Amino acid sequence: MSSGVEHFDERARREADRVGETIVHRGELLRHPVYTRILHWAVAICFVLSLLSGFAIYSPWLYRSLTPLFGGGALTRLLHPWFGLLFDLFFLFQFLNWVAPMSWTDADTHWVKRIREYTRHQHRIEPDEVGFFNGGQKIYFWAIVLSGGLFLLTGLLMWFDDVGPRWIVAVCYVIHDLAALMMLAGFIIHVYEGTSHQPGTFQSMTNGTVTEKWAWTHHPGWYRVVTGRNPRQAFEREKRRRAERERAMEAWEREQDDRERVKQPDR
């Protein structure tokens, strides 16, 4: 089965790359191919729609403000399960696409142990062992897998509520809510990390590329795999070059200043 999935994924990536394209400039690396990006945004759109329509029904305090977005309460109720189904469908493909790089390793356990240092920025550069995805990203992925499954199971039971006894709905909606709160927490962190907290990350999902500097800073293990270079040495080399470039720049400025002084002796 797994080889069949891999075959399908390979083909999907190839076809998507044939339709779209990813331009990798000098000093950049390909992070996410077209197929992954399309899936990501399809999942994201369905997720946000499900989230807004779901939270409208979740709480009386959000009902009045969120239901008009979908044309009233009844339409919100009608659309929500379809948004959810689409979310689960697209995420199924994303799951197949990503399940291999998302497998848990020792490096991720170490990452989770360093979570306090990570949130306080105690290290400017991630340790060499951090690969394509770090522990946090993998936790988010598996949390979506878990809650996506829970959403589907409890959602279907609430959708077709005439098949079982009445307490099933009463239980299911609590599980559905808990999964949604877990997703909300993950989503807030995900959006923050992808935009404001780590500049240079967002373009990996739009253009599909990241800079080499970004790669050796956040995912050195992956940098080593794709370039074959040592991320730490590459970083040191860049630092040296930057210092030299700055020195040269300063010298050039000074030279210019001297030249100007010669031209205008009266100053």
Which stretches of the chain bind another protein, using CB under 8 A? 57-64, 73-74, 76-78, 119-121, 124-125, 158, 161-162, 166-171, 173-174, 177, 181, 184-185, 188-189, 192, 196-200, 211, 213-214, 216-218, 235, 238-239, 242, 246, 249-250, 253-254, 257
Least Å distance between CB 97 and another protein? 26
Select 174 or 225, whichever has its Cβ closest to another protein: 174
Select 86 or 158, whichever has its Cβ closest to another protein: 158
Select 15 or 161, whichever has its Cβ closest to another protein: 161
Least Å distance between CB 86 and another protein? 19
Least Å distance between CB 191 and another protein? 9
Select 76 or 94, whichever has its Cβ closest to another protein: 76
Q: Give, to the nearest 10 degrees, the angle between helix 2-19 and helix 34-58.
A: 100
Least Å distance between CB 143 and another protein? 14
Select 91 or 235, whichever has its Cβ closest to another protein: 235
Least Å distance between CB 5 and another protein? 34
Select 106 or 162, whichever has its Cβ closest to another protein: 162
Least Å distance between CB 198 and another protein? 5
